Structure 1
Amino acid sequence: MIHFVLLISRQGKVRLTKWYSPYSMKERSKVIRELSGIILNRGPKLCKFVEWRGYKVVYRRYAGLYICMCVDHDDNELEILEIIHHYVVILDHYFGSVCELDLIFNFHKAYYILDEILIAGELQESNKKTVERLIDAQDLLEEVAEEDASSVNHIIAQASKNK
């Protein structure tokens, strides 16, 4: 089981967090501070797995971002590396070469994509085309909702002019 997902920049700024196990806000801050200190100070040629508090933290660096997942001690590290890569490939496809700014300004999309891949700390969907189809459907729903809201605003504006 995946306990949490962290996306951290090279400067130690948290760009995305998703918690699947209960942690208080104070514990979350401590975990982020502790793990970012450990991971950011590791050399690029070192193993991408870290033993931490009886768990394993699996991370991978993509450009200026570190994507970290904390898993149970007996989980398969290579599977977690593949899940991380799967997430990044889908982000790349959606944003067209994803960068840190995409995650900052479109964090809701990054969360939505992560939620399509993982549910309750377990892999839900491993098929990229299925995830991309679901994301496209969600985007279409958002567009329709925006158009409907625009139509309603236009009707309200017209009604208020006629008074």
Structure 2
Amino acid sequence: FKQYKLIYRRYAGLFFTLCVDVNDNELVYFESIHLFVELLDQFFGNVCELDLVFNFNKVYMILDEFFLAGEVQETSKQTILHRVQDLDKLE
């Protein structure tokens, strides 16, 4: 684990953790975690642990629209939520 570092943020009772390269800028990942939590809040309406457990497929859908190959793909909340809602309608 010497070439990696763990970045985490706590929101209420939820911990969000990322394992990143030691040379990466941790502030970028702190903001990424914050944006991810904001997306979850908007999608689920005040996200809680049960939302993550019972709707893990939707959580991964949001994550897939946000990150691509470990890099931030899209930063617009409205764009991500619009895409996820469109995908959710297809299910």
Same fold per superposition (TM over 0.5): yes
| In structure 2, distance between residues paired with 1:98 and 1:120 | 25
> Partner residue of 2:5?
56
Q: 2:37 aligns with which of 88, 92, 104?
A: 88
TM-score (norm 2): 0.95
Shift of 1:80: 0.2
> Partner residue of 2:53?
104
Greater Rg, structure 1 or structure 2? 1
Provide runs of 4+ in structure 1 moved above 3 Å: none
Stretches of structure 1 that go unaligned for 5 or more consecutive residues are: 1-51, 143-163
Q: 2:73 corresponds to which letter in structure 1? A: Q
Shift of 1:56: 1.6
Aligned-CA RMSD value: 0.9
Stretches of structure 2 that go unaligned for 5 or more consecutive residues are: none
TM-score (norm 1): 0.54
| In structure 1, distance between residues paired with 2:37 and 2:51 | 12
The answer on 1:119 being equivalent to 2:68 is yes
| In structure 1, distance between residues paired with 2:50 and 2:68 | 25
| In structure 2, distance between residues paired with 1:106 and 1:133 | 18
Show CA shifts across 1:58-104 (max 9, x none).
Answer: 10001111101111111111110000001000000000000000001
For these two proteins, the number of residue pairs brought into alignment is: 91
> Partner residue of 1:154?
none
